Copies of this chain bind each other. A is one copy, B any other.
Amino acid sequence: MTETVQAPGRGRSGPSIADVAQLAGVSSQTVSRVSTGAENVRPATRERVLAAMDELGYSPNHAARALRYGSFGTIGVIAHRLARTGESRTVEAVVEAARAEGYTVSLVDVQSPSSDDVTAAAARLSHQSIDGLVIIRAETATPASLAVPPRMPVVVSDSRFVGHHPAVAADQVTGTHLAVQHLLDLGHRTVHHLAGPADSAPAEIRVDTWREHLVGSARPVPAVVRGDWSARSGYEQGRLLAADPDVTAVFCANDEMAAGLVRALYEQGRRVPEDISVVGFDDIPLTEFLWPPLTTVQQDFHLIGSRLVDLLLRQIRDRETLTDSRIVVPTRLVVRASTAAPRG
């Protein structure tokens, strides 16, 4: 397709293999052998070539190698709102795992997690010579409408894509069950839910699981309250919930909203956990040092990141077709001080 004009070439991109060859008085192929670490080069020759490389500051042109090899040593990562806790930790793990395997990472941050934006980003990245693609949180995208270039290995951190693309996802269902059951076990009659935005897939999984659990336990199901993941939205919804005397336990879809909620509750004179118990989700580093320390569902973002890379590299290296693969990374409940039995 028609593409934007390239930024004007940077001109000479340094010395080439030929320059080194000339300086060392050998053929370019010998230089190539040295630079790829081939065995069959006399030590004296190798020394001479290395010296020439050093003198000229030579380093191999990756574009040429990529062209020759048909592979780029690069994986593309599409993320949304990179600065968010889960995203940045997952990306960090992906970058780390990729490096351990000798790959670099090309990163794109999409404005919205919609099919259109993700598809566009995938197209952009595939122009950028990548060997595979990691999509972190496709959120509002649907398997049907998300298009990735044909033959491009892909992994998605979203279990809805099972059957379309290999997926790695935290076990949010179990995590949610644990959180809700924990609150019921403490004696709460029911559990309110401060959910993430409705266009987020993980948010919806948590809502659905929360509802199922309550229904399955024959408890009343309160109306869902919505935030947008931010602490501020948690604070705003908290002000409303604080006014409702029926609320004794709130399961929040992430820790930041939980933090905002807790503050709003305090400001309205409702103590945590004495009056209202609160559970978060994610276990971000600060959670333990909030007041009170937050009971939360821990997600292992680091493991998710490295599994994503595992699965992608299996496709890239072994040409495996893994569309049905699904790796579920366990979650666990970390009980701290924000939950307690209801009064009376």
Contacts and interface: CB of A to CB of B under 8 A. Distances in A.
B321 A14 contact: no
A82 B71 contact: no
A289 to B, nearest CB: 4
A104 B125 contact: yes
A53 B230 contact: no
Contacts of A266: 291
A196 B53 CA distance: 41
Contacts of A285: 230-231, 256
Q: Could you say which interface size class chain A belongs to?
A: 35 or more
B149 A57 contact: yes
A105 interface: yes
B102 A91 contact: no
A7 B73 contact: yes
- Taking the full assembly, how many copies of this chain does it contain? 2
Nearest to A321: B1
A6 B71 contact: yes
Contacts of A72: 63
Interface of A: 1-14, 34-37, 50, 53, 57, 59-67, 69-74, 77, 81-83, 85, 87-89, 91-92, 95-96, 99, 102-109, 123-129, 131, 149-151, 230-232, 234-235, 256, 259-260, 262-263, 266, 285-286, 288-291, 293, 316-317, 319-321
